[in-house]
Chain A
Amino acid sequence: MNSTPADEHKFLELVTENRNRILRVCRVYAWNSADQDDLYQEIVFQIWRGLPTLKESQFANTWLYRVALNTAISFTRKRSSGFARSVHFEHADLTRKIESRQTTAASANAADRIADLYTAIYKLDPLERALITLFLEDFTYEQIADATGISANHVGVMLHRAKKKLSCLMVEEAPQ
């Protein structure tokens, strides 16, 4: 892509506006901080490459999620393919350990709950993770269907099943 200052401005605006959304997607699909950084850069790169194809800016939000989720799903598969297993430490335990160093005692409980949520999400399959991410980002069924290409009816069924699974997993993850 031969970028013009206008393109660069548009790109920076889009990435800055959606920075937190992209980071949350990265955290759902990439477990450790090094992988999250790699995935963040990959998603931003795909946005950079695909930006000329984005004609109407009112659809930018959905478009961005499409790019982010497709890149993340593909990234996860590439990282795990070719090798029998990849090693990951227990998500909740490590996140709790890292975040408890950075937070005060008052916010430690919230950090624990977020870590439990991520651990539970991490145990879902890639499609369910995409649906849950979009649901947590406050997308309607129609918007989810538009972003994923799954029919709205199927989105309802699949999301219901994923949420049920997630709540069970969160109960399992919660400290006794």
Chain B
Amino acid sequence: MNDDELKALWRQQPLREPAPAAQLIAAMQKKTTLLRRCLDARDRRELLACVFVIIVFGSFYFTVYREPIPRLGDLIVIGSTIFIAWKLVHTRRTTPPAPPGATIVESLGAELNSVRAQSRLLGSVLWWYLLPGFIGLLIATWGLQIDLSAKIFSTLFFIAVDAIIYRLNQRERSKQLLPLEAQLESLLRSAETGEPLDETQVAHLRPLALSLAAADQVQPVEFKVAFWQLALWGEIGFIGIWFFMMLDSPVANEDWQPEGQARGAFVQDVRAEETNRYSLVARKVIDLLNAGDYAAVQKLYNLQMGQVFPPEKASEFFADLMARFGHIEKFDGPTDNGYRGWTAFRLHCRQGELTMSLALDADDKISGIYFQPVPRPLNFRSLVLRVFSWQRLVWIVPFFLAGLLFSWMLQKGTERAVGISSLGIHLHKGLNLLLWDEIKEVRPLRVLNIRSLWLISESGEKTIMPWTSLERHSDLQAAVEGFAPANHPIRKYLSLLRRPYRKRNSQFR
């Protein structure tokens, strides 16, 4: 066939009728609006994530972190969040797509630049994304006055999270971006030099063709997991978290301790002369507190205490204490089992009880004073009322919504196996097909109740296939038995599936 015949054949081909004009204009306007909304939503999402982190860590600045070092760490976290948002926006703006009327070479060049920029971002994710925030969190954590074990645990947790994020990014880069970069480079080189494409890239750019003979059998048996199935698990988990958090609060503050245990210590004796000395000072402190003369209480401090707690600081503390507990109506004591072995008094206030521990120097000046609330005993009824108070019950709503969100994300994120056919296993909504012959090895992976299989090709490439309790096991079993070749490694894992449910009556027959 010569060139002219080929061109004639090309022009005479029958073509389908496209949409009418009015419909086309409406479709274009709708698509423009959608595109604009999509871009706005992306920018808004990034901005919201940034604002969320700033609000959370901003509130930590005033509530959790009160010392300069943790505050410095907190500011580093906020700064790194702003930097990350800027870096993402900057990279996107500096690598714009080619305009619609660009030549193929220009368009390929623009796309290559964009892919290279993304690849560089993922390659250096440790330095610009993970490390600044990690340093901030480390400074904040190690500057806090908490247990060493908690600091070590937090540090290990941050390292583990960062390691997972780093690994995922590098995997994404090597599996998606680097091959795409190589393909684009190859295409661009070919366009610029006129040389043929590298054969390995040609293979990637051409889709796999299958014969029609297989077409009738290629329709895969589909497995779909309904949202409610996932939501059932998600809600159980999230409502469970809410419930245990709710229980944890009253248990943790030792309200379960019996009344006698807290009061029992007060029957111990203290030497008579000491009792007199301490009781006099305690009486003085209580009278001054009730009179609201906090500055006078501060004057009872010795020199060192006075330096550590100047009048303003001491007044602020006592005012807050009296506001919370109210007028001191009477006191018991003393005992010698106070804070750090100091002499203790039990103060009966209008709104609760306090243990006041005192340490005096030789001149009867206060060298140490410590107030500790006495846990109020609770009986079972009051515990239940407290646990199911409206302040706690109201939290069930966000937890329920979080459960739904989690289930939705799980459904979107996992892209479950959609089916099995005579050709192989269809993943990612049927767009990814692993041929039976390609799967050389199968290994199980189990995380809690979620079972999956690693499908491993000859080159060692691993693809995960859900093999969970959420699909109908009988369907899965029938599909594998019907389509997988005999002796295929996946058949070994049929034993992990539940046997098809049979009615009890039928077993008796």
B208 and A86 within 8 A (CB):
yes
A40 and B100 within 8 A (CB):
no
Which of A12, A49, A130, A170 is close to B25, meaning CB atoms less than 8 Å apart? A12
A16 and B187 within 8 A (CB):
no
Interface residue B226 (Cβ < 8 Å from any Cβ of A): no
Binds A, one of B16-24, B75-83, B229-237, B352-360: B16-24
Find chain B residues with CB under 8 A from A36 CB: 16
Interface residue B432 (Cβ < 8 Å from any Cβ of A): yes
B428 CB → nearest A CB, Å: 6
CB within 8 Å for A23 and B18 given contacts A49-B100, A86-B208 = yes
Find chain A residues with CB under 8 A from B29 CB: 3
CB within 8 Å for A24 and B99 given contacts A87-B218, A149-B105, A150-B104 = no
Most buried by A among B24, B28, B433: B28
B104 CB → nearest A CB, Å: 4
The answer for the CA separation of A47 and B101 in the assembled complex, in Å, is 8
Find chain A residues with CB under 8 A from B201 CB: 125
Find chain A residues with CB under 8 A from B433 CB: 84-87
Binds A, one of B192-200, B328-336, B474-482: B192-200
Interface residue B366 (Cβ < 8 Å from any Cβ of A): no
Q: How many residues of B contact A (CB 8 A)?
A: 64
Most buried by A among B14, B16, B18, B201: B18
Which of A83, A153, A163 is close to B428, meaning CB atoms less than 8 Å apart? A83
The answer for the CA separation of A16 and B1 in the assembled complex, in Å, is 31
A33 and B16 within 8 A (CB):
yes
A37 CB → nearest B CB, Å: 9
B99 and A53 within 8 A (CB):
yes
Find chain A residues with CB under 8 A from B13 CB: 24, 27, 114
The answer for the CA separation of A31 and B206 in the assembled complex, in Å, is 12
The answer for the CA separation of A74 and B102 in the assembled complex, in Å, is 13
A63 and B101 within 8 A (CB):
yes
The answer for the CA separation of A168 and B211 in the assembled complex, in Å, is 20
Find chain A residues with CB under 8 A from B211 CB: 89-90, 93
A15 and B1 within 8 A (CB):
no
B105 and A85 within 8 A (CB):
no
Find chain A residues with CB under 8 A from B176 CB: 81-82
B180 and A81 within 8 A (CB):
yes
The answer for the CA separation of A110 and B7 in the assembled complex, in Å, is 13
B356 CB → nearest A CB, Å: 68
- Interface 1/0s, chain A 90-103, versus B by CB < 8 A? 11011001010011
- Interface 1/0s, chain A 49-79, versus B by CB < 8 A? 1100110000000010011011001101100
Which of B15, B204, B212 is close to A89, meaning CB atoms less than 8 Å apart? B212
A90 CB → nearest B CB, Å: 5
CB within 8 Å for A24 and B104 given contacts A16-B21, A40-B18 = no
Which of A1, A31, A90 is close to B32, meaning CB atoms less than 8 Å apart? A1
B218 and A69 within 8 A (CB):
no
Find chain A residues with CB under 8 A from B202 CB: 125
Interface residue B431 (Cβ < 8 Å from any Cβ of A): yes
Interface residue A136 (Cβ < 8 Å from any Cβ of B): yes
B104 and A87 within 8 A (CB):
no
B100 and A117 within 8 A (CB):
no
Interface residue A105 (Cβ < 8 Å from any Cβ of B): no
B32 and A114 within 8 A (CB):
no
A172 CB → nearest B CB, Å: 13
B104 and A149 within 8 A (CB):
yes
A110 and B208 within 8 A (CB):
no
Which of A85, A154, A158 is close to B207, meaning CB atoms less than 8 Å apart? A85
CB within 8 Å for A70 and B207 given contacts A11-B25, A23-B18, A90-B212 = no
Question: Please, could you name 16 A-B residue pairs with CB atoms under 8 Å apart, sorted by A?
Answer: A12-B24, A45-B28, A48-B28, A70-B104, A86-B208, A88-B207, A89-B218, A90-B212, A114-B13, A122-B209, A125-B197, A126-B205, A136-B10, A149-B102, A149-B191, A170-B1
Interface of A with B (CB < 8 Å)? Answer: 1, 3, 8, 11-12, 15-16, 19-20, 23-24, 27, 31, 33, 36, 40-41, 44-50, 53-54, 63, 66-67, 69-70, 73-74, 76-77, 80-91, 93-94, 97, 99, 102-103, 110-111, 113-114, 117, 122-123, 125-127, 130, 135-138, 146-151, 153-155, 157-158, 161, 163, 167, 170
User: Given contacts A85-B432, A87-B207, could you give 14 more A-B pairs where the C-beta distance is less than 8 Å?
Assistant: A24-B10, A36-B16, A53-B100, A66-B103, A73-B107, A80-B207, A86-B207, A89-B218, A122-B206, A127-B104, A148-B103, A150-B104, A158-B190, A158-B194
